[in-house]
Chain A
Amino acid sequence: MGKDQILVRVRDLHKVFHRGSERIDVLQGLNLEVPRGDFLAFMGPSGSGKTTLLNLIAGLDRPTQGAIDVDGQRIDQMSEADLARWRARHTGFVFQLYNLLPVLTAERNVELPLLLTPLSRAERKRHVQTALSVVGLADRAQHYPRQLSGGQEQRVAIARAIVADPTLLLCDEPTGDLDRKSEDEILDLLQALHREYGKTVLMVTHDPHAAARAQRILYLNKGTLSAEPIE
């Protein structure tokens, strides 16, 4: 059989926003193919549509036009309920901010995606411990987000994103709010997830230093992607 080597296939993607009477054409016929096991960074000026693109691939938003195929499934055609199920099964998402629920311990935060699976309590616990040790925070399981540093919070967020073993790991400026040292830790971690665990990682970033860690960089400009930064 052999699985399709292209994991994400985006065709002629358009996204239009309306703000009052103003029409914003953010994505204009964008095409993209992401092979399985890729580590891809998206760069581009602010407002170029990086977040918009990532949200569309993560099934958080719907395209105005075009097709998004992930692992053989047309997510742009799914119902709202199916899409939620699909996200639970196939995506792990890391935001720049506001990732963790402040009322839950690190462990409970990481457990959240597993609540949507049929796993037993003991199995969930085991998966959570594994994910936390992958990000090097096994000893912080019982800590609340406010008791963690920004870098640690983000590592917990990554643990949560990978705990259900998703097909895709999506990160929107995961290091945008961190100091250099924490940033490096996060980037090391993403790199390790890519190299050692074979994860497919899509990362949006402003920072060339961060983008350099990826396997390849694509630039978003005027609604389409290119391999070179175009002015």
Chain B
Amino acid sequence: MRFWPLLWSSLWRKKVRTTFTLLSILVAFLLYGYLAAVNKGFSLGINTGADRLFLRHKVSLSILLPESYLGRIGATPGVVDVVHATWFAGIYQEPKNIFPQLPVDPERYLRLYPEFLLPEDQKQAWFADRTGAVAGRTLVEKFGWRIGDRIPLVSPWRKQDGTSTWEFTLRGIYDGAAEATDTRQFLFHYDYFEEARMFGKGMVGWYIIRIHDPKRAAEMAQRLDSNFANSFHETKTMTEKALVQGFARQIGDIGTIIGAILTAVFFTILLVAGNTMMQSVRERTAELAVLKTIGFSNHLVLTLVLTESLLLAGLGGVVGLGLAYWAIERGDPTGGVLPVFFFPPNDIVLGGVIMVALGLATGILPALQAMRLRVVDAIRRA
């Protein structure tokens, strides 16, 4: 593009000012990208598992429920499938290695979570091995596990022999059908767990339920809970989505907070970049007049100024999003509390849209001003 040297030099007319403006745009987009990943982590489940319900003890997730509820839940009209899971709370090597470890009925569990993709041979190998386990791709990559590895976990669940180290053999690695799928779970046989544990026999953590008609989730939840009303173990049922959102709400409404932060940030950036462009055009009134004298049309001048502000926003934005991507790739800042941590493609696209909008918004007024500038007035003023 023949106007490139002119554009590029004009952009850097005041090096310090342009650098600071670029840095603030960069930081805004870095923040935007990073928070988009955090937000996604917290809102996981909102778009998945809509047809699954989560049933737990009415008082707390940490109080166990009888395993015998399985049959009663399964027999409730409107229920298609059900599985239970229990929090194993094991430690792998170091206490900071937190990930969900769940003793489950393998076949049922995979039926409930079809988004866990496991090759058929690995599936069969797992089903056949009582002390076998499968783990999600993220987890396996984090610890460098291989199929066949022996994985010891130290759990508060004591074994009957008095020890608390449980050893499992990795039989399979599952992938997520979607980027938002939780690939940090470690799953093993409930039968083995039930037989070997010292206490709590016959008790499980919670139930995952697939219902026939997701649109009637609220009604189903009520029906299920009424099954167990006035029993020793009353229950509380909610959708998975509500469950995950409930977690997030304990820390505050993350989405709203992030939205507010980003709005403030971009509003500031709008002013900063807008001011830079305004000043930069005001400073070169005489130069713009010279360009017009030479024969640059009003439209060309408008386009040049607008392109310059798009360049400013684009440069800061692309580098900012790039850095955000890099930071996100380096991993979850909570060290594993978030089930997923990635830069959602939608938010990358939205970032691009924001960049263009920012460039246009900050450039349009100065560009119009430059376009309307009359040579004779500009020269007289200068």
Chain A contacts to B: CB under 8 angstroms: 55, 58, 60-61, 80-81, 84-89, 91, 93, 95, 97-104, 108, 112-113, 115-116, 121, 160
> CB-CB < 8 A to B379: which residues of A?
95, 98
Contact A103-B295, Cβ < 8 Å, known A60-B375, A108-B5 = no
Partner of B9, one of A58, A86, A103: A103
Query: What residue in chain A is nearest B376 (Cβ atoms)?
Result: A61
Query: What residue in chain A is nearest B298 (Cβ atoms)?
Result: A80
Given contacts A58-B293, A95-B379, A101-B290, 5 further A-B contacts (CB under 8 A): A91-B295, A93-B293, A100-B290, A103-B12, A115-B3
Contact A84-B287, Cβ < 8 Å, known A55-B376, A103-B13, A115-B2 = no
Q: Are A88 and B295 in contact (CB under 8 A)?
A: yes
Within the assembled complex, what's the spacing in Å between the Cα atoms of A80 and B298? 8
Q: Are A112 and B294 in contact (CB under 8 A)?
A: yes
Per-residue A-contact encoding for B285-324, CB less than 8 Å = 1, 0 else: 0110111111111110000000000000000000000000
- In terms of DSSP, what is the predominant structure of the interface of chain B? helix
Query: What residue in chain B is nearest A163 (Cβ atoms)?
Result: B294
Within the assembled complex, what's the spacing in Å between the Cα atoms of A104 and B287? 11
Per-residue A-contact encoding for B1-35, CB less than 8 Å = 1, 0 else: 01101100110110000000000000000000000
Within the assembled complex, what's the spacing in Å between the Cα atoms of A58 and B294? 10
* Shortest CB distance A16–B (Å): 14
Determine which residue in A61, A85, A108, A116 has the highest number of CB atoms from chain B within 10 A of its CB, and name it.
Answer: A116
Q: Are B9 and A121 in contact (CB under 8 A)?
A: no
Partner of A116, one of B5, B293, B296, B382: B296
Q: Are A104 and B5 in contact (CB under 8 A)?
A: yes
* Shortest CB distance A121–B (Å): 7
Within the assembled complex, what's the spacing in Å between the Cα atoms of A102 and B290? 12
> CB-CB < 8 A to B293: which residues of A?
58, 60, 87, 91, 93, 95
A-B contact pairs, 12 of them (CB 8 A): A60-B376, A84-B296, A87-B293, A88-B295, A89-B295, A91-B293, A98-B289, A98-B379, A100-B290, A103-B10, A104-B9, A108-B6
For the complex of A and B, the 7 pairs showing the least CB-CB separation, nearest first, are: A88-B295, A103-B9, A98-B286, A84-B297, A87-B295, A60-B375, A61-B376
> CB-CB < 8 A to A93: which residues of B?
293-294
Q: Are A84 and B290 in contact (CB under 8 A)?
A: no
Within the assembled complex, what's the spacing in Å between the Cα atoms of A107 and B297? 22
Within the assembled complex, what's the spacing in Å between the Cα atoms of A103 and B8? 9
> CB-CB < 8 A to A112: which residues of B?
6, 291, 294
* Shortest CB distance A87–B (Å): 4
> CB-CB < 8 A to A160: which residues of B?
294
Query: What residue in chain A is nearest B375 (Cβ atoms)?
Result: A60
Q: Are A84 and B9 in contact (CB under 8 A)?
A: no
* Shortest CB distance A46–B (Å): 13
Within the assembled complex, what's the spacing in Å between the Cα atoms of A103 and B6? 8
Determine which residue in A84, A93, A104, A160 has the highest number of CB atoms from chain B within 10 A of its CB, and name it.
Answer: A84
Q: Are B290 and A98 in contact (CB under 8 A)?
A: yes
> CB-CB < 8 A to B5: which residues of A?
104, 108
Query: What residue in chain B is nearest A97 (Cβ atoms)?
Result: B382
> CB-CB < 8 A to B289: which residues of A?
98
Query: What residue in chain B is nearest A94 (Cβ atoms)?
Result: B293
Within the assembled complex, what's the spacing in Å between the Cα atoms of A89 and B284? 24
> CB-CB < 8 A to B296: which residues of A?
84, 88, 116
> CB-CB < 8 A to B375: which residues of A?
55, 60-61
> CB-CB < 8 A to A80: which residues of B?
297-298
Q: Are B376 and A115 in contact (CB under 8 A)?
A: no
Within the assembled complex, what's the spacing in Å between the Cα atoms of A85 and B297? 7
Give residues of chain B (251-292) contacting chain A, Cβ–Cβ below 8 Å.
284, 286-287, 289-292
* Shortest CB distance B176–A (Å): 51
Within the assembled complex, what's the spacing in Å between the Cα atoms of A121 and B5? 12
Within the assembled complex, what's the spacing in Å between the Cα atoms of A203 and B9? 32
Within the assembled complex, what's the spacing in Å between the Cα atoms of A24 and B375? 19
Q: Are B6 and A121 in contact (CB under 8 A)?
A: no
> CB-CB < 8 A to A113: which residues of B?
294-295
